[in-house]
């Protein structure tokens, strides 16, 4: 498939670029390490033992394959296209994040690195990283904005239980982007023994590529499962996009199937004319955290604060491959507001008995908007990227409920 001359799945190029996006915009100190990481990743890709260990851990530790669930009551309610949910919420640690962490810690082991660091926003990637660090017996430091530490206490405690040190980052706006800055600062001073497990399809090459590859298990499984269930490919895929790792994981195996329409959902926060986190709808190309991509920024290139009710989407950038898929028009990106996501969070919970993560609720909201406009013979796969237990305090607060 990837050998097709017109394939959309061959990126990035040798320099890590997806069209004009991606690249390796890092300090010189990190550059040799990035090149070393790429060499080790190429060797791992060619090593059947690496894939075998990855697959083993995904099956027996993460619990894959995750089910593809026909959401019959939601489908009836919307009276349009059939909706299937890819149940990444059922993975160990409750979201897709663990897929990537398994892959990267295996790389860390191959490279002989003895310490693990990661950034986290809501804490899901931090928990997944702390989990694999515990599994492999490696010391782990998680950088988390001080504001996020305060509002995500259960995940902070989870990480500590798993043996991780959680560093509350006091610089900047004290949220995800500042946590990433601080992780990069720590990394640059500890490159000799430390592996940085980046949580999304962003950062310098080869991170966007390798995170995508580790997450593509989502789309590979979904493809097989829908063929089994329906005997054909879906008409549409929908996934939420912050940095975009769950989305690219679902989308990538379908990019060359021209008849499969693909929709990414950006967080429109309070609305695109107010505070939001929709980098494609409200930003423009720039350079941050090692890659060129769409960013929320002012006319001088200063990065502006993102806002979303979903902490996992609360980031002023997006993975570079998404910026490219947006510009070439292969994927359509639509905004969904906090209020819409909140309504869909409750609707899915009541109709299917599935409490989705607020991130995933953004994709459900888009499906609710689109499904009724399609015929009942059409099929949509929505990525239920995580479970919503972590969000119940945020949701209660938004609904004015005291717990």
Partner 1 sequence: MTDRFAATFAKPRPALVAFITGGDGNTAANLDALVAGGADVIELGMPFTDPMADGPAIQAANLRSLAKGTTTADLFAIAAAFRRRHPDTPLVLMGYANPMTIRGPEWFAAECAKAGVDGVICVDIPSEEDAELGPALRAAGVDLIRLATPTTDAARLPDVLNGAGGFLYYVSVAGITGQQQAAQASIDEAVARLKAATDLPVAVGFGVRTPEQASPIAKVADGVVVGSAFIDIIAQHGDAAAPYVETFTRSLADAIHGAKEIAA
- For 319-336, b where at least 16 C-beta lie within 10 A, e where not — what string? bbbbbbbbbeeebebbbb
For partner 1, the closer of residues 96 and 177 by Cβ is 177
Q: Which of 45, 114, 171, 346: binder of partner 1 (CB under 8 A)?
A: 171
Minimum distance of partner 1 from residue 35's CB (angstroms) = 8
Residues 252-291, interacting with partner 1 (CB under 8 A): 286-290
Task: Provide the edge-to-edge strand list for the sheet that holds 194-196.
Answer: 165-169, 140-145, 115-120, 194-196
25 lies in the site for partner 1, by CB under 8 A:
yes
For partner 1, the closer of residues 181 and 360 by Cβ is 181
For partner 1, the closer of residues 2 and 171 by Cβ is 171
For partner 1, the closer of residues 78 and 183 by Cβ is 183
14 lies in the site for partner 1, by CB under 8 A:
no
> Do 82 and 70 contact (CB within 8 A), yes or no?
yes
147 lies in the site for partner 1, by CB under 8 A:
no
Minimum distance of partner 1 from residue 111's CB (angstroms) = 15
150 lies in the site for partner 1, by CB under 8 A:
no
Q: Which of 109, 185, 330, 369: binder of partner 1 (CB under 8 A)?
A: 185
Which of the stretches 2-10, 147-155, 226-234, 301-309 binds partner 1 when contact is defined by CB under 8 A? 301-309
303 lies in the site for partner 1, by CB under 8 A:
yes
Q: Which of 2, 32, 157, 232: binder of partner 1 (CB under 8 A)?
A: 32
28 lies in the site for partner 1, by CB under 8 A:
yes
Catalytic residue among 97, 177, 292, 347: 97
Minimum distance of partner 1 from residue 180's CB (angstroms) = 8
118 lies in the site for partner 1, by CB under 8 A:
no
15 lies in the site for partner 1, by CB under 8 A:
yes
Of 202, 186, 398, give the one whose Cα is nearest residue 311.
398
301 lies in the site for partner 1, by CB under 8 A:
yes
Q: Which of 125, 177, 322, 390: binder of partner 1 (CB under 8 A)?
A: 177
Of 207, 211, 217, give the one whose Cα is nearest residue 253.
217
Tell me if residue 86 is catalytic: no
d(CA 9, CA 173): 36
Tell me if residue 7 is catalytic: no
d(CA 184, CA 195): 11
Q: By rule CB under 8 A, what count of residues binds partner 1?
A: 36
Catalytic residue among 38, 88, 119, 352: 119
Tell me if residue 216 is catalytic: no
Which residues make up the interface to partner 1 (CB under 8 A)? Answer: 15, 23-33, 171-172, 177-178, 180-181, 184-185, 188-189, 191-192, 286-290, 295, 297, 299-303
The catalytic residues are 97, 119, 385
């Amino acid at each position: 498939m990837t050998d097709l001359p017109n394939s959309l799945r061959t990126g990035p190029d040798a320099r890590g670029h997806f069209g004009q996006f991606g690249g390796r915009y890092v300090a010189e100190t990190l550059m040799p390490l990035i090149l070393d990481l790429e060499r080790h990743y190429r060797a791992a890709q060619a090593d059947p033992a690496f894939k075998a260990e990855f697959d083993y851990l995904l099956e027996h530790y993460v619990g894959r394959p995750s089910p593809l669930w026909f959401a019959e009551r939601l489908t009836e309610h919307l009276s349009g296209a059939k909706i299937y949910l890819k149940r990444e919420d059922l993975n160990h640690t409750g979201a897709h994040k663990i897929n990537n962490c398994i892959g990267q810690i295996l790389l860390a082991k191959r490279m002989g690195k003895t310490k693990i660091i990661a950034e986290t926003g809501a804490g899901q990637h931090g928990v997944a990283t702390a989990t694999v660090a515990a599994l492999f017996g490696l010391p782990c430091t998680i950088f988390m904005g001080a504001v996020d530490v305060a509002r995500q206490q259960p995940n902070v405690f989870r990480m500590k239980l798993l043996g991780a040190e959680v560093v509350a980052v006091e610089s900047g706006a004290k949220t995800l982007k500042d946590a990433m800055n601080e992780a990069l600062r720590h990394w640059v001073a500890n490159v000799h023994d430390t592996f940085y497990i980046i949580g999304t399809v962003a950062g310098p090459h080869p991170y966007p590529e390798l995170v995508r590859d580790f997450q593509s298990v989502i789309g590979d499984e979904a493809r097989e499962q829908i063929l089994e269930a329906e005997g054909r490919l879906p008409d549409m895929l929908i996934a939420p996009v912050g940095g975009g790792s769950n989305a690219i994981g679902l989308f990538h195996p379908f990019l060359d199937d021209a008849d499969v329409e693909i929709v990414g959902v950006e967080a429109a926060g309070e609305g695109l004319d107010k505070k939001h986190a929709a980098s494609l709808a409200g930003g423009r190309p720039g350079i941050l955290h090692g890659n060129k991509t769409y960013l929320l920024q002012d006319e001088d290139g200063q990065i502006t604060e993102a806002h979303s009710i979903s902490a996992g989407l609360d980031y002023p950038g997006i993975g570079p491959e998404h910026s490219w898929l947006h510009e070439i028009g292969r994927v359509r990106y639509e905004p969904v507001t906090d209020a819409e996501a909140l309504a869909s969070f409750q609707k899915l919970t009541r109709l299917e008995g599935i409490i989705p993560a607020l991130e995933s609720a953004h994709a459900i909201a888009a499906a609710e908007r689109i499904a009724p406009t399609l015929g009942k013979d059409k099929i949509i796969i929505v990525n239920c990227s995580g479970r919503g237990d972590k969000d119940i305090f945020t949701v209660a607060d938004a609904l004015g409920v005291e717990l």
